[in-house]
Structure 1
């Protein structure tokens, strides 16, 4: 792997980001359709529940699958299933069945596939990439994800404004087919594991392993706090834009473009590093920076100042996501990698779900700016705790 990892590693990286682009185009189009149709925090919360809850539930067993079975075929099966579901919804939509409940059901079914796929994808990188290159690869991955975040809202907004949701769905189908063709070229050996264990005991063993490791325990604590307290910026910013500056597709698109631009620029910086000297310190500082920008968002009454704060928030994300992934990939044992990433995904999604269920309806009762400011201050306190807890 040390000498010939590039072809397989970069092909895998490319395939996952091609698929991600199509998924994000569809996701933005669906979310904006719901947001612009209802202008309701409750409906956005329902959409978030449909997206997250199935992933949380399937994560109870998907991590053990990633540790017991072929990660390659788990990815292929999950992506293929999602593509078929997307094709089915596109046909239903083209026939004229335009219903918000249909979109929620579709989002829930796709969420199951994503919950199976993500632990397998994250666990596969250490099999394909040498440890000394993980920071670089994760940095490139974050840059490509940010590029998708930059382009997908433009494409999604253009389709939603000028055509029909059907065409956004079909983009997801096409990119999934390309990703599947790439995956058939990837060679991933199954990880050796104890086949005698059941998925339930696998899950419990994975949690015991996680909380028995002090590095992972602290990481998962700050991850849970971050996903909970970042909810205003990651979920409710659509409503803040609409209520403060106007409900237009242009503003919604501009917000995503500015966020992605900051992420791309910082992602390129991260990608230049083969490794950070202290991933935990970089993570704590990046979370603290994100917290400060959330507080600033609450005070901004001018759209351009708000977008400036959004740019800084986007700048922080590649540092946050890359360092978290590298800490797990270099700390967790290979036969626990799938369960560790599944628990990481499950806890993060659970906190985001709790935040959406509580803050979404609350946003229909109290001013959003106070939600942003309060959560930002609490997130800053959490970042300071993590920096102190990880000092050596």
Structure 2
């Protein structure tokens, strides 16, 4: 019996069919049985880790790209905006003569033309000088007329009568002397009588000659020198009268230019002195803008160059008001406007220049003091930095 049991075991051990049967059943059981739940959870966690890693990687790349973008922006030159100011030619109107303001004929903002009356003044002193000069002119003219016209006919006749009377007396004295002289020669007359007759004869001759000369002067009139002096006196008094009339005209102030009344300083009834400003005028056709530009941007504003500026005061919300300007003057400002570096790496001292430019076409709406904004592109300017042009071998 023992042998039979062992034989049976050997048969079971050596039977391949019997040995493989449990394995086949296990494979069939694994195929027909669903996966376990813990395997699905592991796959899901792996997928989440992959998604998080990809998201972190994207965030890192975005941060790097943003940093590179900001770095490029910071290294790129930024546009510079300069602020200037509009100016106009301003004329102050002052009084040449003292007086009282009688009437102001214009107000601020009025447009005036050349020669238009602005102020009317009341000056009694000027009126008195005018009257005095006119009276002096009348007197001088009378003296000139007298010199030009000579003596009156009555004066000529009177001078002639005096000459003839003296001539008759002289003739009588001459005859008397001849008779007395003959009697003296015959010894009938004393020598004293003859000398007296002779002296009277000489006296009457002198009187006759003087009367004749007076008559000749009456006929001839005044001398040329007297006429010239009378003419000069008339011219002098005429000049004084003209001066007084000019002063009276200046009291009624007129505009020397065409422009706009900017400011009226005085009021009616005020007494003003000579040379005191009364009002100011601006010439709207004479406009320019003033800019302060450092010399590293100066080549953008060379004389004759043009640039565009924006005037905010005349700009609308949807449209900017721009003007084209042409540079006509450039001058350096004082040392207080010089920018100095804080260390050697900052470069050199940069001076500031005052730029003046006129608009190509004037605009009557522009007023003095309006701001002008000018954008300067640094790429169009050349920064004069000596360190950039230095020899590398010396660095």
Q: TM-score range by the shorter chain?
A: under 0.3
Larger Rg: 2
TM-score by length of 1: 0.18
Structure with more contact order per residue of length (Cα contacts < 8 Å, sep ≥ 6): 1
- The structure that is helix-richer by fraction is 1
